[in-house]
Structure 1
């Protein structure tokens, strides 16, 4: 293998161009399969040096140029890096970390371009308003789609957030995607920004969700829980809000960036009202406190009284059907009810009179 070929390993990535020169899906699939095979090979061996490329080619049954080309792809994707050792040894990089290194600059560029477009639009609106006093810009609501665009927006907004961040974090069909998006906001804790989060009661029960909450509380966030949380949203410094949703086909996360001061004020007021009635969550708390369990059972019973199925109740409260049915069984036992409807009526009556459940 030539020295010239080996020297290409340390070239600068050419993002914005094409990683694969061949046309067609088949060519892309072939390159992806080669990258997978070489990456797994290097993970198994821990590292690879340029002098060992020929051995890799022999073991995989490839040509030398195919090995070099595939390793170049892996370096460009940040899945391989040099570790500074003599001989230019390449070591594998964790895929999650590689994705962050690769995608973050692109996300930042997307958001900066959108910010520039907003500034130009606001400047034009202000000029139009100065000419005609009847034209008064009232803020904007813009749609964003996809993880990259949303995460770029949240990261940039968090970078300039100075005073307060509030989060409505309901249960979601894809908790992992929503959590990955919200992670872009958590860096404000390092700057001492006030962070308040409202989550559903069910976040107290799962081990993974408790661990996430504990990390946030240890970092300085305040978390409270209620039975049902409205649409997921984040408000930065009471001036910019992001409201989350999903695309029409349900495949992509979407969001609306809200700068309209009336809408943002409404979101803050709704958050403050929910916050006042929510139950504080402590870092060392496990499971449901008495008042939380009571509130959760009351919500379940009232939904049952509306004739909703177990599946619909579970969906409203953001919990699994199995967990919901376990709560329903406990509720029926505590109330001595023989039917779902009877339990709902009993709870509604006791709620109206201020009587606790189970008495």
Structure 2
């Protein structure tokens, strides 16, 4: 309950008039005036200037016209809008020269783009293949490829060959034991394609027209980097050419040194990685074979050298001289 003489509470929204003020203003407009006592609980009517004292009788309040009231409220807003538009034009004029500088300096596409998941990676490969005009260089580490990946590669490769584009591909020596990969290579070799193999490749890589390259971004190969930086692409192309010069054409025999004490060239490569401290999984990955095959080769090395333990095997490899022929004379 309100105490005697206290002003009643007048909850007022953010709009110029509360509901009661709007009702009284409409009443004043309809009747030409409003008793001052009726407006005591709506001070917004006087504060906003919608009602003014009657010069002839102070008991009454007279309304101003709605058109005049609206103009009073719109004029400052319109001035503010004009001022802000003027400021926006000034800011645009100030920053336009700077934007022109960055437009000249920045490439039309990002130098490095991160691609996540197979869908985005495959889409980037398809786009780069479609834009390619004369050359594709690829390095594909690992052993034989799956039937599904070979089918996709064959379809993509045939499209490229039909357009007269040359392809050079590097695999690891282990693909020579994969009938599916050999069949794919024979099919592709009928066109403008060259395939060579190396014992080790650094990692997967694709270069299109020496303008765009794709490389893995994570070990699980679920992310890739699309690179369009000329300096980086030139570096990757040089790495590819260096590996290509040391690789062996697929249809030629791999120039392994003759077996020594029953140990083959592949086993010497495994032995070299063993004494460098690599575990079986890392050796298998680097040589493009599965871990079971790698361990079978390690067992044969151990049997040939008479080793009874892994620690002894490393010592016997170092003492046997089987790696001497790999060292520069």
Q: Same fold (TM over 0.5)?
A: yes
Q: Cα distance, 1:197 vs. partner? A: 0.4
Shift of 1:148: 2.3
| Maintained 8 Å contact 2:144/2:174 | no
- Which stretches in structure 1 are left out of the alignment for 5+ residues? 1-126, 355-359
Distance 1:149 1:183 in 2: 20
Conserved? CA contact 2:150–2:184, under 8 Å: no
Among 322, 333, 345, which residue is 2:292 paired with? 322
Alignment RMSD: 3.4
Q: 1:198 to 1:319 in 2, by over 3 A?
A: same
Match of 2:57 in 1: none
Contact in 2 for aligned 1:142/1:257 (Cα 8 Å): yes
How far residue 236 of structure 1 moved from its aligned partner, in angstroms, is 0.3
Match in the other structure for 1:263? 232
Q: Compare 176-185 and 313-322 and name the one that shifted more.
A: 176-185
Matched, 1:165 2:140: no
Q: Does 1:254 align with 2:223?
A: yes
Within 2, Cα distance between the matches of 1:216 and 1:259?
Answer: 28
Cα 1:227–1:314 shift into 2, 3 Å: same
The gaps in structure 2 that reach 5 residues or longer are: 1-96, 259-263
The Cα shift of 1:254 comes to: 2.1
Output aligned runs, 1:1-359, within 5 Å.
130-131=100-101, 135=105, 137=107, 140-171=111-142, 179=150, 182=153, 185-186=156-157, 187-246=159-218, 250=220, 253-282=222-251, 289-291=254-256, 296-331=266-301, 336=305, 338=307, 339-341=312-314, 342-343=316-317, 346-353=321-328
TM-score (norm 2): 0.57
Larger radius of gyration, structure 1 or 2?
Answer: 2
CA contact (8 A) 2:143 2:175 kept: no
Cα deviation 1:205-239 (Å, max 9, x = unaligned): 12222222222223331111111212211100011
Evaluate the alpha carbon distance shift between residue 244 and residue 184 of structure 1 in structure 2; reply closer, same or farther with a 3 A threshold: farther
Distance change >3 Å, CA 136–CA 161, structure 1 → 2: closer
Q: State the TM-score, normalizing by the size of structure 1.
A: 0.52
Taking a change above 3 Å as real, the CA distance of residues 245 and 290 of structure 1, as seen in their structure-2 partners, is same
- Deviation of 1:332 (Å): 5.5
Which structure has the highest helix share of the two?
Answer: 1
Aligned residue in 1 for 2:90? none
Change (3 A) 1:173 1:309: farther
Aligned equivalents of 2:145 and 2:176: distance in 1? Answer: 18
Please give the alpha-carbon distance, in whole angstroms, between the structure 2 residues aligned to 1:343 and 1:192: 50
State the Cα distance separating 1:300 from its structure 2 match: 1.3
Task: Determine if contact 1:234/1:243 at 8 Å carries over to the other structure.
Answer: yes
C-alpha contact (below 8 Å) 1:199/1:224 kept by paired residues = yes
